[in-house]
A = this chain, B = another copy of it.
Amino acid sequence: MAENSNNNNSNNISDVIETYLKDILGQQELVQVKRSDLAELFQVVPSQINYVINTRFNIQNGYVVESKRGGGGYIQITHVDLLNNDQVFDDLIDVIGDSIGQANGQKIVQALFDDEVISQREANIMLSAISKNTLRIADKVSENTVRARVLTGMINRLRYEEGLNGQ
């Protein structure tokens, strides 16, 4: 019942594949794989590779994915450094848009922390601000709307660091 299986929790293949790719990305800026090879390596159907990529390597997580079909096709994952990269900063805010759920909001904060754009304390403050629990509002639509504004506001605030001001 109570297994304390250290850092790498979870028994599903998707997490294993995610870890495999991130291990590589921990040593190289970029990883390029053949979808069918990866699928065979982990004994899953090819489309599961897409699932892993879509759920764990999107821009919210700080990754950019490119690919090519046909003979000699590949999937390439690049880790983008959010620190000192205002463009990706804008992209994040773009992703947030007018509405965002808690899960996706957390991914963004996590990515900011991973790239050392924000400290752990700052990350925790931001996470608590957008958490489902604190933000719980009558209808879900407006909850996600408020969350988007709060998150966008905080991220924007990171860009300008002069004096205290409450806007």
Q: Please state if B123 and A135 are interface contacts (CB–CB under 8 Å).
A: no
Question: Residue-by-residue, is A32-64 near B (CB-CB < 8 Å gives 1, otherwise 0)?
Answer: 111001100100000000000000000000000
Q: How far is the CB of A100 from chain B (nearest CB, A)?
A: 13
* Cα A9 to Cα B124 with chains together (Å): 35
* Cα A11 to Cα B70 with chains together (Å): 11
Q: Which of A118-167 contact B (CB under 8 A)?
A: 120-129, 131-138, 142, 146, 149-150, 152-154, 156-158, 160-161, 163-167
* Cα A1 to Cα B49 with chains together (Å): 13
Q: Which of A87-121 contact B (CB under 8 A)?
A: 102, 106, 109-110, 113, 120-121
Q: Which of A13-33 contact B (CB under 8 A)?
A: 15, 24, 28, 30-33
* Cα A5 to Cα B41 with chains together (Å): 20
Copies, count:
2
* Cα A43 to Cα B31 with chains together (Å): 30
Task: Identify the closest chain B residue to A20 (Cβ).
Answer: B2
* Cα A162 to Cα B165 with chains together (Å): 28
Q: Please state if A71 and B167 are interface contacts (CB–CB under 8 Å).
A: no
Task: Identify the closest chain B residue to A152 (Cβ).
Answer: B134
Known pairs A10-B72, A74-B10, A126-B125; A164 contacts B1 (CB<8 A): no
Interface residues of A (CB under 8 A from B): 1-5, 9-12, 15, 24, 28, 30-34, 37-38, 41, 68, 70-72, 74, 76, 102, 106, 109-110, 113, 120-129, 131-138, 142, 146, 149-150, 152-154, 156-158, 160-161, 163-167
